[in-house]
């Protein structure tokens, strides 16, 4: 996606971040608030922003969502500092990373269905399934089926969230061995995002706190892939409706496109998103040039 792209941007070292929406729905105010965190922090620290279209979910991703997403971001004034990348065009990198892990003896073929995992995992009706390791001793050669898991060691992963402070997670106990490629041959979110953050030189990951539980496993996987220093992480608060429910991509009343159609200006949308995300004390118009001022330099 790089045709005609030119940039003379010189990023500050250590401040390459990314905005990584999935084109599985329409952009809503929650995305705008997340983008404010990403661009605002990067601009305030002299960093740069990569835009990654996370279309690893080939069934739910739609070209019309991608088009609308790019248009809405541009309309709001969020310009990335490099050509956007699509995960669906990065399969070669994921394959190469899997092969590196396979050479290190970390990969095995798994053929367990969700139902089998549920049956084998005690307390298996929780939101997150822990893979109990049923196929752990199988080799890769044992099957031509596409599903692959990465063997994780038991143990703690500690990191310092730039907003939430020190965190300790136990990925092997939380989720068990990581699924890298599913039964349909699709790369998983956890695997693709970790390879991408490594290959793209992302050193600060800024994203919603709904993804906090994924961070330990992504750090563990990055280390297996040979990453010497993990990225730094900042998990920002999610926007909530007054009733406390998380905004969803299908919440038409908060879709950026609907707000545009209703005559809202970009500063009005940015101001509403920043206010709902707790970044402004009271609602007001917010110009995209003002975003950096929301994040006074500190670290």
CA 190, CA 130: separation in Å to the nearest integer? 14
Q: C-alpha distances in angstroms, 124 versus 73, 131, 148, 174, 240? A: 39, 9, 21, 12, 29
Instruction: Choose between 54 and 85: whose C-beta lies nearer to ligand GLU.
Output: 54
The answer to the question of residue 222 lying near ligand GLU (CB under 6 A) is: no
Stretch that binds ligand GLU, among 17-25, 102-110, 120-128, 170-178 (CB under 6 A): 17-25
**Closest distance of CB 197 from ligand GLU, Å:** 8
**Closest distance of CB 56 from ligand GLU, Å:** 8
Burial class (CB in 10 A: 0-12, 13-18, 19+), 167: middle
Given 129, 140, 211, 292, the residue binding ligand GLU (CB under 6 A): 211
52-81: which residues touch ligand GLU (CB under 6 A)? Answer: 54
107-136: which residues touch ligand GLU (CB under 6 A)? Answer: none
Stretch that binds ligand GLU, among 14-22, 130-138, 240-248, 255-263 (CB under 6 A): 14-22
Instruction: Choose between 38 and 112: whose C-beta lies nearer to ligand GLU.
Output: 38
Query: 3-state DSSP call for residue 210?
Result: helix
The answer to the question of residue 20 lying near ligand GLU (CB under 6 A) is: yes
Which residues 6+ apart lie within 8 Å of 246 measured at CB?
30, 210, 238, 239, 240
**Closest distance of CB 34 from ligand GLU, Å:** 8
Given 15, 16, 22, 78, the residue binding ligand GLU (CB under 6 A): 22
The answer to the question of residue 207 lying near ligand GLU (CB under 6 A) is: yes
Total residues contacting ligand GLU by CB under 6 A comes to: 7
Which residues 6+ apart lie within 8 Å of 182 measured at CB?
146, 147, 188
**Closest distance of CB 20 from ligand GLU, Å:** 4
CA 58, CA 40: separation in Å to the nearest integer? 31
Sign of torsion over alpha carbons 108, 111, 114, 119: negative
Given 193, 195, 225, 256, the residue binding ligand GLU (CB under 6 A): 193
Identify the CA nearest to 256 among candidates 238, 235, 240, 272. 272
Strands (E), the chain: 16-19, 48-53, 85-86, 107-109, 148-150, 157-161, 165-169, 178-181, 204-208, 232-236
Given 11, 16, 21, 70, the residue binding ligand GLU (CB under 6 A): 21
Contacts to ligand GLU by CB under 6 A = 20-22, 54, 193, 207, 211
């Amino acid at each position: 996606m790089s045709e005609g792209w030119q940039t003379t941007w010189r990023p500050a070292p250590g401040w390459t971040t990314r905005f990584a929406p999935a084109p599985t729905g329409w952009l809503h105010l929650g995305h705008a608030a997340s983008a404010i965190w990403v661009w605002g922090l990067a601009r305030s620290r002299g960093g740069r922003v990569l835009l990654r279209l996370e279309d690893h979910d080939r069934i739910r991703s739609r070209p019309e969502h991608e088009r609308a997403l790019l248009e809405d971001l541009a309309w709001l004034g969020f310009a990335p500092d490099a050509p956007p990348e699509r995960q669906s065009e990065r399969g070669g990198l994921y394959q190469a990373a899997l092969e590196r892990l396979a050479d290190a003896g970390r990969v095995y073929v798994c053929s367990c269905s969700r139902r089998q995992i549920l049956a084998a995992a005690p307390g298996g009706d929780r939101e997150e399934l822990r893979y109990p390791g049923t196929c752990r001793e199988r080799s890769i050669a044992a099957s031509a089926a596409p599903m692959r898991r990465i063997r994780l060691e038991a143990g703690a992963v500690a990191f310092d969230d730039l907003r939430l402070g020190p965190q300790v997670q136990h990925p092997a106990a939380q989720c068990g061995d990581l699924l890298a490629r599913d039964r349909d041959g699709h790369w998983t979110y956890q695997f693709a995002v970790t390879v991408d953050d490594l290959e793209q030189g992302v050193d600060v990951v800024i994203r919603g706190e709904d993804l906090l539980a994924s961070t330990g496993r992504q750090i563990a996987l990055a280390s297996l892939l040979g990453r010497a220093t993990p990225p730094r992480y900042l998990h920002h608060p999610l926007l909530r409706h007054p009733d406390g429910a998380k905004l969803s991509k299908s919440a038409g009343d908060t879709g950026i496109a609907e707000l545009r159609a209703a005559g809202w200006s970009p500063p009005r949308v940015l101001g509403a998103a920043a206010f709902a995300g707790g970044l402004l004390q009271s609602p007001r118009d917010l110009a995209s040039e003002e975003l950096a001022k929301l994040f006074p330099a500190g670290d």
